[in-house]
């Protein structure tokens, strides 16, 4: 048995994948109280609302089940390192966020679990904080690389840094299976109830589409799947895109393609103007439920209590920041494969 504590657990994407992969996740720790309902409603694990900076190695050891192996997992908030974060100016004010990666390393040193795993944005590898994290894992065999999530059955073009480490010997993240089937938007969300902009599924509060202005409704109707705003009549093009600086952002105000993976799901993917987040066929942006499914959360995953209203800004942020569930499953399989190799 592998007993796990998930740091920066959020809504439970990594936790849910690990559990589905056979790992006993005993607790998730996060500072955001808005994660509690979804985390505990969908996972047989305890949610601990706590600042990671105040967590100690002793605290972690008290949570693990000592009858088997121990795993420390987590995905520290990544906005300071991402392309989006640098564009928004978050990097210059990110010391506290950088410290969270350092605290992850501190906890690995203090608690000394058998295994460690981290998922994050690829840009993290270019920063000293990542090198220091690797140094903190002295005594572990460490594997890390930037993976293409679409090769692991995630229907979006998402690149992520994955690290796995073991005190028992050499370890690696399992390679993708040799399947010729690329996961697509059609395969993920085509079964959901069709909606117009501003409409909601009466049976699922998360399957609600944001309203569109008259201008944006004209824009999306002029958009072909996979096309760009450069295909529009001049009267529809935003002023910011007519400037030289706007020419480098052709992906905004775009539609997804049915038979291709989605673009990377972000914290703003529910908004038509925030990227290529237009539905392939219906004249609207994707819903929160569609974003969650593209993050490989099961369609039955509960994010809010029955009767509650979905808050786009809150749930969009939490869904966009989640670790895709399928990646969590592969991380779990990697550790069990590692143990199988050690036994043999």
Over range 97-115, report the average pLDDT: 92
Q: Which of 108-112, 128-132, 180-184 has the lowest mean pLDDT?
A: 180-184
The C-alpha atoms of residue 117 and residue 308 are separated, in whole angstroms, by 34
Q: What is the pLDDT of residues 232-253, one digit of tens each?
A: 777 788 776 655 444 555 667 8
The CATH number covering residue 306 comes to 3.90.120.10
Q: Are residues 49 and 144 in the same domain?
A: yes
- Do 206 and 68 lie in one domain? The reply is no
**Do 329 and 295 share a structural domain?**
no
Residues 77 and 110 in one domain: yes
CA atoms of 313 and 12, how far apart (whole Å)? 18
Q: What is the pLDDT of residue 241?
A: 63
Give me the mean pLDDT over the 26-31 stretch. 98
| Range(s) of the domain holding residue 278 | 185-320
d(CA 209, CA 194): 10
Report how many domains make up the chain.
2
| 82, pLDDT greater than 50 | no
Active site residue 78: yes
The 10 Å Cβ neighbour count of residue 200 is 16
The answer on 168 and 35 residing in a single domain is yes
The DSSP symbol for 175 reads P
329 and 315 assigned to the same domain: no
pTM confidence score: 0.92
Are residues 86 and 214 part of one domain?
Answer: no
Q: Which range among 25-39, 64-78, 167-181, 243-257 shows the weakest confidence by mean pLDDT? A: 243-257
Same-domain check for residues 98 and 149: yes
pLDDT exceeds cutoff 80 at 93: no
Q: Give the three-state DSSP class for 152.
A: helix
Residues 18 and 115 in one domain: yes
Distance, CA of 138 to CA of 109 (rounded, Å): 8
Asked if residue 157 and residue 28 are part of one domain, the reply reads yes
Indicate the pLDDT class of residue 96, thresholds 50, 70 and 90.
low
- Flag whether pLDDT at 92 surpasses 50: no
Same domain (yes/no): 84, 33? yes
With 0-12 / 13-18 / 19 or more C-beta atoms within 10 angstroms meaning exposed / middle / buried, residue 18 is buried
**Whole-number Å distance between alpha carbons of 21 and 338:** 14
* Catalytic residue (one of 4, 9, 35, 78): 78
Lowest mean pLDDT among 69-73, 239-243, 249-253, 336-340: 239-243
Q: Residue 274's pLDDT band (boundaries 50, 70, 90)?
A: confident
186-225 per-position pLDDT tens digit: 999 999 999 999 999 999 999 999 999 999 999 889 888 9
199 or 275, which is more confident = 199
Return the CATH number at 132: 3.40.50.150
Strands 115-120 and 159-166: antiparallel
pLDDT interval class at 265 (50, 70, 90): very high
User: Where do we find the tokens 């799901």?
Assistant: 265
Region 280-290: mean pLDDT is: 97
- Same domain for 48 and 145, yes or no, is yes
pLDDT for 86 beyond 80: no
């Amino acid at each position: 048995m592998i007993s796990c504590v998930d740091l920066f657990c959020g809504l439970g994407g990594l936790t849910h994948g690990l559990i589905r992969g056979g790992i006993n996740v005993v607790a998730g720790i996060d500072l955001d109280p808005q994660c509690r309902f979804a985390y505990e409603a969908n996972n047989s694990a305890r949610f601990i609302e706590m600042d990671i900076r105040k967590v100690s190695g002793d605290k972690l050891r008290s949570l693990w089940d000592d009858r088997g192996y121990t795993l420390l997992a987590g995905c520290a908030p990544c906005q300071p390192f991402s392309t989006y974060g640098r564009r928004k100016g978050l990097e210059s004010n990110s010391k506290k966020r950088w410290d969270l990666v350092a605290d992850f390393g501190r906890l690995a040193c203090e608690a000394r679990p058998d295994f460690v795993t981290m998922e994050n944005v690829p840009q993290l590898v270019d920063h000293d904080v990542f090198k220091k994290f690797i140094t903190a894992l002295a005594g572990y065999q460490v594997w890390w690389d930037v993976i293409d999530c679409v090769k692991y059955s995630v229907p979006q073009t998402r690149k992520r840094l994955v690290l796995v480490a073991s005190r028992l010997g050499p370890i690696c993240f399992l390679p993708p299976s040799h399947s010729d089937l690329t996961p697509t938007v059609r395969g993920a969300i085509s079964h959901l109830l069709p909606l117009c902009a501003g409409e909601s599924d009466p049976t699922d509060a998360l399957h609600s589409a944001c309203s569109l202005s008259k201008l944006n409704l004209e824009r999306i109707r002029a958009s072909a799947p996979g096309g760009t705003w450069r295909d529009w009549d001049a009267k529809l093009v935003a002023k910011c895109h007519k400037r030289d600086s706007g020419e480098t952002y052709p992906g905004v105000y775009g539609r997804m393609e049915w038979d291709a993976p989605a673009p990377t799901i972000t914290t703003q993917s529910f908004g038509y103007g925030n990227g290529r987040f237009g539905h392939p066929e219906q004249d609207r942006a994707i819903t929160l439920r569609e974003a969650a499914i593209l993050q490989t959360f099961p369609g039955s995953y509960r994010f809010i209590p029955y009767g509650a209203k979905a808050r786009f800004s809150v749930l969009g942020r939490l869904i966009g920041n989640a670790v895709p569930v399928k990646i969590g499953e592969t991380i779990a399989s990697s550790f069990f494969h590692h143990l199988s190799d050690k036994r043999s």
